[in-house]
């Protein structure tokens, strides 16, 4: 079975398991989506949602966070990892959005990735979930699963993104990256499946007997 055949099987299984998919991070608009994705680095979606549900009813525009200032933003997000660094990024990017983009989140990868605290993965999520632009956000979670499923050689997340985009139809990307995340959390866990027990692993590799070694991103 080659990688193209595996990709077709995986897409079929994921569409059966998750015909409809919800965006895990709660947001009020594209700006708050950007903030939530930024906050989710090294933090669970559940923790981010628990924190932001107390923030977004009152603060949901760049001007709100500019007026708050770094110290007050820190207090609002202190339950989230590396909150001081993230508070600084939120404050700085809010100022930039006001000054350069009329308080609107830009709709290009180039402009998004110039914002403080915003890398390619964060920009991809915003482009995908915020603007509906075909994108394939790849984090370490998807990187790990793509290796287990024989879709990439595992050099880094950049290579994994290229491989996944090559193997799957563009129209499936926005939904698929979320399907992979949900499936991994439920069935193909890092310290549970080991590439040996879930439906995708056993279907794609019926003769596999050794745990899969993963190359870190």
| Positions marked active-site | 121, 139
CA dihedral 49, 18, 180, 194 (to 10 degrees): 110
Rounded CA-CA distance 30/134 in Å is 16
What are the tokens at 76? 């609002």
The answer to whether 190 and 137 have CB atoms below 8 angstroms apart is no
């Amino acid at each position: 079975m080659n990688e193209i055949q595996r990709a077709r099987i995986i897409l079929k299984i994921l569409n059966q398991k998750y015909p409809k998919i919800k965006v895990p991070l709660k947001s009020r608009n594209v700006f708050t989506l950007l903030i939530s994705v930024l906050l989710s680095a090294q933090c669970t979606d559940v923790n981010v949602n628990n924190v932001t549900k107390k923030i977004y009813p009152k603060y949901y525009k760049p001007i709100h966070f500019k007026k708050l200032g770094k110290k007050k933003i820190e207090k609002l997000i202190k339950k989230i990892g590396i909150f001081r660094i993230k508070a600084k990024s939120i404050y700085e990017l809010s100022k930039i959005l006001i000054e350069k983009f009329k308080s609107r989140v830009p709709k290009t990868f180039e402009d998004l990735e110039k914002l403080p605290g915003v890398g390619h993965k964060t920009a991809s999520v915003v482009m995908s979930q915020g603007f509906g632009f075909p994108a394939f956000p790849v984090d370490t979670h998807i990187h790990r699963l793509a290796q287990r499923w024989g879709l990439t050689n595992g050099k880094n997340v950049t290579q994994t993104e290229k491989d996944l985009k090559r193997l799957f139809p563009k129209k499936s990307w926005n939904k698929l990256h979320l399907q992979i995340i949900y499936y991994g959390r439920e069935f193909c866990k890092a310290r549970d499946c080991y590439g040996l027990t879930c439906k995708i692993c056993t279907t794609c590799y019926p003769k596999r007997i050794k745990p899969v070694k993963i190359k870190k991103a």
